[in-house]
Structure formats: C-alpha cells, structure tokens
C-alpha cells in the first residue's frame, strides 16, 4: 500500500451512498427476494407439494443451498482468524468482507432450513423437544453458536471505526449517525479499551476456528451418520471443510473485485491481494480435489453393488453433466487459471472466483440429492416422478431469493459500515511509514 | 347400388373370416400345463396334498398362478371323492388338507391314490395328474447323551412294519430353514427302520428356556411322499432378551441419551458459551470505560 494520510484513508473508506448502479443492483436483488417470498407464500399455503420433493428425494435444493451457505460462512474463520493468528497483515482489508459474508451466509443457512420444513411454525419444538443424540440438534446448536461468535467478531473490530464515523456526521447522514452513536459512541480509544478489545478479538479468533470446523463437520455428519451410498464415508468431515474453505475463499475474491471496482479501492485492495488470495485458492482447490479423488476413486475401485448405481449415475449417468461441470468449474479451471501469475490479476482471479462459487453450489446439490434417488431397496410401485428430481419454480425462486437475500445483507452492510477497517488501515499505514 | 351391396357383403365375409381365424389362432396357442402332485404328512398330525403348476413360457418353465385345481382321494375323480378346490398362488402352488370326511376312504387300504385336476381355462386345457403312496409314519426319540433316533414305519395291511433303505434328514428347526444336527446331510434307515444321529450343535441358541425343535424329514419319496416329525429338546443355549427400551442409548427418546454423549456435548457447549459470555462481559466493561472517559 502506498503512503497515505489518515485523512485520505478515512475519506476513501467511509461508507458511500448508492449510485445509479448500486440502486439498480439493490432493486434487482429486492425483486428476486420478492419473487422468492411469493413462492414461499405459495409453499406455506399449498404445502410442500408445490416442490418437486417426494418420498425419495426428500432433500432437494433447499438443503443443497443450506450446505452451500454453511460452507461459504467458514471463510470468516479462514481470513479473520487463521490469518490473524498467524500474523499475516496483508489480509487486514479483507477481514470485514470475510466476516460479513460469514454472518449473512450463516443467517440464511438458518432461514433456508426453516423453509425446508413442512410446518415451520413448529420449529421451536427443535429447541423444546430436541434429542441430543440427533446430529440435527448438534447442527442447530453449533450454527447458533457460530452465528453469535461471527457477530462478535464483526462487531469488536468495528468499535474503533464508529468513533471515526461519528466525526463525519455531515458525510454519513443523520440517521446513520444515530445508529453509529447507539452502536459505538462509548468507544473513546483509551488504552484500557484497546487492550480489552484486542484481547477479545484474539479470544474470538481462537474460539471461532474449532467452532467453524464443528459447524461444517456436524453438517457433514447429517449425511455421514446415515448408512446410504454416497454418504457412508469417514472422509466426509474433512471433505466438507476443505470444500467450505475453497468456496469461502472464492466468494471473498469475487467480493474483493466488486468492492474494489465499485468503490474505487485499488489502493487498499491491491493486485498483491489478488495474487495472494489466488495462491490460497489454488492450494484449497488442490486440497479439495484430493479429497474428491479419495471420496470417489476408492468406492469406484471397489464398486460395491449397493454403491454402483449411485457412482455410475454420477460418472456417466443421469447426473454426469452436473458432476463433471461441478468438478471442472469448481476445481480444474480455477487451478489452471490461478497457477499462473497472470491468472492471479484481479479480473482473471475474479472469473476464477465466480467459477468456484457456481461450481461449488452444484457440488452441494450432487452431495445431497443423487444419494436419495439411489436407495438400497429398489424403488417400485411409485409414480414415475418420484424416481427423478428437478426443482419446481417455487424451489428455484426461494433458493435464488435466499441467495439474493444474502447478497442484500452484504450490500446494505457495505452501505452503512466501512467495508475495509478504517482504524486498522490507518494504524498499519503508520507502522508501514515508520518502518 | 348393386356394387355397394356386393362390397358390403364382401366386407362382412372378410370380418367373419378374420374373427374365425383369430379364434383358431387363440386356441392353437394354448400352452401345456405341467402338474406335480405330492403328499405331505407333518408330525403325524396334519396331512395334505399339494399341487405345483408350471408351464413353458418363452423357452423357460415358469410357475403358473391362478389355476383352479380340484383334488380327489382315490383314482376316481367323481364328486363323492372330492377333497377340495384350490387356486394356485404366485409360486404355482395349491393345496388342500385331507378332511375328516375322507376318513372312510382313507381307512380302506394301506395304499392311497390322489388325483389333482386343473380346470380348463383360456390359456390351458384340462390337465390331470395323480400320486400313489404307501401310508407311513416317522417317529423321533432322543437319549440323554444327545443322540437322536428316527424310525420309519409303513402300514402293511393292518400292521406297522419298519422300512429299510429310505433317506432321512435329521436337523434343528431355525428361522430360515433346517440346520443339520452335525456334518452328515442324510441318513439311511437300517433293517429296524431306524437312523441314529449325534447332536453336535452345542452353542446353538434356543428360546428363553433353551428349547430347540428337532425335526426328522423324508422328502419327495416315491413310495411314502413327504414325512416330517418334530420333538422339542432343552439342548439350546438360553436366550436372554435384554431389552434396551427406555435405557440410555443413541436411539432412545429425548433425555435418555448416553451419559458419555451428554458429558461431551454439554461440556463443549458450556466451554464455548462461557467464552461468549466472557466476551459479552468484556464488551460491557469497554462500555463502562467509555462512560468513565466522558
């Protein structure tokens, strides 16, 4: 980062009002959310029959979407916690991006699981009558915990920025000023406050890593504790976590590019950031590819009768186009792009990030649904449409609406709060100048 | 006009000929039905005759369900000798128990004939089959040293005489079939009509009292048919059903999870949430420090 004055940094990083593009973007997301809300209204009034889920494929794109949201939320622990604890300072401008992705994703993971319920008004029973033996209860507990830790990890580093934001009342506006005052007027930047805050952030960074690992391991156990072809694997926890870090890192690269170009943050999110994140993404893609080889090659080598239909369905059958699309876009092409220095420039890295995110979404679908369509006992005496699954328009609308909702949370967060930590950037700039 | 009438007559003729030829073809395609009739005497108590119907379809023998079969005692298929009627099931099998009303006919001789007649249907012609048997009974006994003896006796006029040279299986009844009492599959009756088998399945679980059911069988014998006899013996290991109902298991109801799981789960939850509460306290502390600085 070039030498900048504190004044310049603050002016650059203050939240900005939506321009024309921003307004169109928000309107577009709101329309998608409204369509999703209408589809959910139809599902509530008509019942789950409006979906394509039937006796066999009882988990469809809602649960795929849930797994995707949980996966992408792990990025908060990767960028904020792992890199902070290993004293990696270049990641400072990316921490808040990663944390808001984590918070919005984990919020919508919770919501989409309620959407999948036939009687959502009975959701509270999970808390009142939940069985500790059930991995679903473990997931409910760990998601709630992760949500609170992520909120705290987002909030604590914001405290010094509130003090700065309150100084720019005329720029930020009256209503936002009230919000900043409510959230952080008590921050006076005293040494005692800084000490407590730093300690709290360090404790959070340590705590969030095992909780993040738990959240996705437990999500993988929702499947792996069930004896079914494709899910009966001891590899699942590590396989899910490596995939989660990959999609999370991909999501951060996409967000970095969009915030950099839209808010003109080239001085703060530099080419070097893309280069380093690109390298991390290659490492994670290779790691995930390794787990995929383990997950599919070993069962395919044995080709047990009960697994054969499922594996052949993925490799050459009904699900082959989606399977190979997911493997190619989520891993192979991003690796090929990002292995080269030119590929780690902002635009190619952004394209690789988008491929990772899109491919990973389809990968989650492949983890959830094909297994359900290949039960141990053959399907017979059921209508033809029970044997296949293709989401209804309501399912697509709700799933896309939830993705739009998560993006809307990130968009509004960036409108209200500095998407790059102002105080930390100033401090690091001063340290850089001194050095 | 005349031409039209001629045409109409021609069409009617063609239609009639088509119907006749179709009917003839339908009759010509009737398959041969094969019936096998067998006699069963289970434990010297229930006696029945069973027919097995099959036919060659697409070059393979297949079981034929839905065949209406009538069973007769003696070689005369008159209605007075009718034992009963039955329809073959999906395995092509149908059977009737020999009713008490057939007692007089049964007692006439030491030998007995049975007839099964499959009624004519659209697919099969009437088919008949018969079986002749010599009345016999199988007896089973055991000794204290776990030796099983089975004895075959056949009726000769009015006297039961031992039968030599008949294959007998000696086994233990299990859920999915009979298990031989040792490595020998079958025994052949000696001059006293007896076979002797040593019981060598000591570890076999029985019921709650360790009771096992021994069974001696003669299968598909051309002269005597199918005979079985059973005896309950306390030679099995006692099976104690330990119910886990309402115990602390992974599959129990809410609040009955295993202690180790509760300890692990609650300690992890407690540890993490204590950290969260500690951090909330730190936040409150920061807030207080801010007020003090004012």
d(CA B28, CA B123) in angstroms, rounded, equals 10
Helix (H, G, I), strand (E, B) or coil at A272: helix
DSSP state letters, A194-215? HHHHHHHHHHHHHHHHHHHHHH
What average pLDDT does this structure show over B5-12? 62
d(CA B67, CA B34) in angstroms, rounded, equals 11
d(CA B115, CA A93) in angstroms, rounded, equals 95
pLDDT score of B113 more than 90: yes
Tokens (6 digits) for A311: 């594996």
What pLDDT is stored for residue B1 in this prediction? 46
d(CA B71, CA B100) in angstroms, rounded, equals 15
Answer with the residue of higher pLDDT: A76 or A406: A406
* Burial of A323 from C-beta contacts in 10 A (0-12 / 13-18 / 19+): buried
Answer with the residue of higher pLDDT: B203 or A114: A114
B293 chain-A contacts, CB cut-off 8 A: 188, 190, 193
DSSP state letters, A179-198? HHHHHHTT----HHHHHHHH
A186 chain-B contacts, CB cut-off 8 A: 286-287, 289-291
- Domains along the sequence of chain A with CATH: 6-376+386-434 (1.20.1630.10)
Under 8 Å between Cβ of A86 and A257: no
What pLDDT is stored for residue A6 in this prediction? 86
Nearest Cα residue in chain A from B291 = A186
Helix (H, G, I), strand (E, B) or coil at B216: strand
B272 chain-A contacts, CB cut-off 8 A: 145, 149, 207, 211
CA distance B248 to chain A (A): 10
Tokens (6 digits) for B59: 């070059």
Confidence of residue B220 (pLDDT cuts 50, 70, 90): very high
B252 chain-A contacts, CB cut-off 8 A: 133
Are B254 and A132 inside 8 Å of each other by CB? Answer: yes
- Return mean pLDDT, chain B: 89
A182-215: per-residue pLDDT in tens?
A: 999 999 999 999 999 999 999 999 999 999 999 9
A209-254: per-residue pLDDT in tens?
A: 999 999 999 999 999 999 999 999 999 999 999 999 999 999 999 9
Given 3-state DSSP classes, what are the helix, strand and coil percentages for chain B, each rounded to the nearest 5? Answer: 25, 40, 35
Interface predicted TM-score (ipTM): 0.90
What pLDDT is stored for residue A2 in this prediction? 59
- Return mean pLDDT, chain A: 93
Q: Which residues contact A404 (CB under 8 A, 6 or more apart)?
A: A28, A29, A30, A32, A33, A36
Q: Is B26 on the interface with A (CB under 8 A)?
A: no
* Radius of gyration for chain A, computed over Cα atoms and rounded to the nearest angstrom: 23
CA angle A170, A174, A179 (to 5 degrees): 120
Nearest Cα residue in chain A from B253 = A131
A281-312: per-residue pLDDT in tens?
A: 999 999 999 999 999 999 999 999 889 999 99
Cross-strand pairs, B179? B172
Of B71, B102, B72, residue with least CA distance to B87: B71
Interface residues on A facing B, Cβ-Cβ cutoff 8 A: 129-133, 138, 141, 145, 148-149, 152, 156, 159, 185-188, 190, 192-193, 196-197, 199-200, 203-204, 207, 211
Under 8 Å between Cβ of A193 and B290: yes
CA distance B138 to chain A (A): 43
pLDDT score of B27 more than 70: no
A159 chain-B contacts, CB cut-off 8 A: 286
A302-338: per-residue pLDDT in tens?
A: 999 889 999 999 999 999 999 999 999 999 999 999 9
What average pLDDT does this structure show over B243-251? 89
B77-105: per-residue pLDDT in tens?
A: 778 889 999 999 999 999 999 999 888 88
Under 8 Å between Cβ of B152 and B166: yes
CA distance A426 to chain B (A): 22
Q: How many helices (H) and strands (E) does chain B have?
A: 3, 17
pLDDT score of B46 more than 70: yes
Nearest Cα residue in chain B from A202 = B279
Under 8 Å between Cβ of A196 and B282: yes
What pLDDT is stored for residue B33 in this prediction? 94
Percent of chain B surpassing pLDDT 70: 90
Signed CA dihedral, B15, B21, B27, B29: sign only: negative
d(CA A289, CA A278) in angstroms, rounded, equals 16
Report how many Cβ contacts below 8 Å link chain A to chain B.
69
What pLDDT is stored for residue B4 in this prediction? 52
Are B290 and A152 inside 8 Å of each other by CB? Answer: no
Of A182, A423, A114, A149, residue with least CA distance to B279: A149
Q: Which residues contact A206 (CB under 8 A, 6 or more apart)?
A: A81, A85
B157-205: per-residue pLDDT in tens?
A: 889 999 999 999 999 999 889 999 999 999 999 999 999 999 998 889 9
Tokens (6 digits) for B129: 């089959």
Tokens (6 digits) for B93: 């099998």
Percent of chain B surpassing pLDDT 90: 70
Under 8 Å between Cβ of A373 and A389: yes
What pLDDT is stored for residue B13 in this prediction? 60
Are B279 and A211 inside 8 Å of each other by CB? Answer: no
Percent of chain A surpassing pLDDT 70: 99
Q: What is the phi/psi pair of residue A368, to 5°?
A: -85, -55
What average pLDDT does this structure show over A336-359? 97
pLDDT score of A145 more than 50: yes
d(CA B137, CA B42) in angstroms, rounded, equals 9
- The two beta strands, B225-233 and B33-42, are parallel
User: With a CB-CB cutoff of 8 Å, which residues 262-281 of chain B face chain A?
Assistant: 262, 265, 269, 272-273, 275-276, 278-280
């Amino acid at each position: 980062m070039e030498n900048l004055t504190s004044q310049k940094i603050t002016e650059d990083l203050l939240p900005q009002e939506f321009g024309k593009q921003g307004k169109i973007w928000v309107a577009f997301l709101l329309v998608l959310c409204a369509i999703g809300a209408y589809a959910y209204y139809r599902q509530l009034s008509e019942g789950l029959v409006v979906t394509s889920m039937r006796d066999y494929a009882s988990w469809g794109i809602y649960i795929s979407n849930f797994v995707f949201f949980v996966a992408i939320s792990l990025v908060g622990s990767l960028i904020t916690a792992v890199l902070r604890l290993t004293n990696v300072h270049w990641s400072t401008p990316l921490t808040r991006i990663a944390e808001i992705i984590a918070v919005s994703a984990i919020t919508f993971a919770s919501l989409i699981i309620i959407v999948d319920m036939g009687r959502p008004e009975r959701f509270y029973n999970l808390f009142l009558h939940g069985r500790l033996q059930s991995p679903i209860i473990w997931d409910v507990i760990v998601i709630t915990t992760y949500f609170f830790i992520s909120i705290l990890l987002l909030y604590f580093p914001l405290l010094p920025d509130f003090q700065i934001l309150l100084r720019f009342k005329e720029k930020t506006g009256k209503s936002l000023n009230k919000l900043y005052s409510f959230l952080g007027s008590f921050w006076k930047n005293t040494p005692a406050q800084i000490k407590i805050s730093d300690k709290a952030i360090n404790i959070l960074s340590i705590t969030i890593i095992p909780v993040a690992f738990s959240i996705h391991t437990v999500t993988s156990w929702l499947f792996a504790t069930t004896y079914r072809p494709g899910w009966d694997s001891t590899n699942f926890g590590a396989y899910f976590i490596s995939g989660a870090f990959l999609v999370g890192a991909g999501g951060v690269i996409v967000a970095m590019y969009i915030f950099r170009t839209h808010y003109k943050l080239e001085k703060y999110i530099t080419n070097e950031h893309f280069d380093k994140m690109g390298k991390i993404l290659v490492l994670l893609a290779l790691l995930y590819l390794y787990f995929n080889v383990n997950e599919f090659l070993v069962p395919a080598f044995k080709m047990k009768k009960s697994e054969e239909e499922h594996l052949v369905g993925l490799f050459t059958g009904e699900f082959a186009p989606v399977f190979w699309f997911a493997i190619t876009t989520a891993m192979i092409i991003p690796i090929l792009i990002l292995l080269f220095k030119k590929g780690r420039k902002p635009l190619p890295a952004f394209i690789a990030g988008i491929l990772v995110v899109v491919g990973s979404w389809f990968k989650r679908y492949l983890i959830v649904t094909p297994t359900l369509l290949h039960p141990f006992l053959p399907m017979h005496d059921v209508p033809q449409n029970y044997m296949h699954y293709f989401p209804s328009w309501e399912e697509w609308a709700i799933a896309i609406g939830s993705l739009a909702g998560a993006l809307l949370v990130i968009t509004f967060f960036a409108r209200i709060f500095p998407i790059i930590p102002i105080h930390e950037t100033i401090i690091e700039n001063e340290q850089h100048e001194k050095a | 006009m005349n031409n039209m009438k001629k045409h109409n007559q021609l069409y009617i003729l063609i239609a009639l000929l088509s119907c006749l030829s179709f009917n003839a073809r339908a009759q010509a395609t009737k398959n041969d039905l094969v019936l096998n009739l067998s006699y069963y005497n289970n434990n010297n108590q229930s006696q029945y005759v069973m027919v097995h119907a099959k036919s060659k379809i697409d070059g393979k023998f297949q079981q034929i369900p839905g065949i209406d079969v009538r069973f007769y005692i003696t070689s005369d298929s008159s209605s007075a000798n009718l034992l009963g009627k039955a329809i073959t099931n999906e395995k092509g099998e149908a059977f009737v128990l020999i009713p008490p009303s057939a007692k007089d006919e049964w007692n006439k001789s030491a030998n007995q004939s049975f007839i099964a007649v499959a009624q004519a249907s659209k697919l099969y012609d009437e088919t008949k089959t018969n079986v002749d048997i010599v009345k016999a009974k199988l007896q089973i006994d055991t000794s204290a040293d776990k030796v099983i003896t089975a004895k075959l006796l056949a009726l000769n006029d009015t006297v039961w005489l031992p039968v030599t040279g008949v294959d007998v299986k000696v086994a233990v009844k299990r859920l999915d079939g009979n298990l031989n009492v040792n490595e020998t599959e079958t025994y052949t009756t000696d001059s006293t009509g007896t076979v002797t088998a040593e019981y060598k399945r000591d570890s076999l679980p029985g019921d709650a009292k360790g009771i096992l059911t021994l069974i001696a069988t003669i299968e598909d014998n051309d002269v005597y048919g199918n005979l079985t006899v059973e005896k309950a013996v306390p030679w099995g290991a006692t099976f104690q059903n330990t119910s886990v109902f309402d115990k602390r298991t992974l599959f129990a109801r809410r609040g009955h999870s295993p202690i180790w799981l509760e300890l692990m789960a609650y300690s992890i939850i407690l540890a993490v949430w204590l950290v969260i509460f500690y951090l909330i306290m730190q936040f409150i502390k920061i807030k207080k420090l801010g007020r003090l600085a004012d």
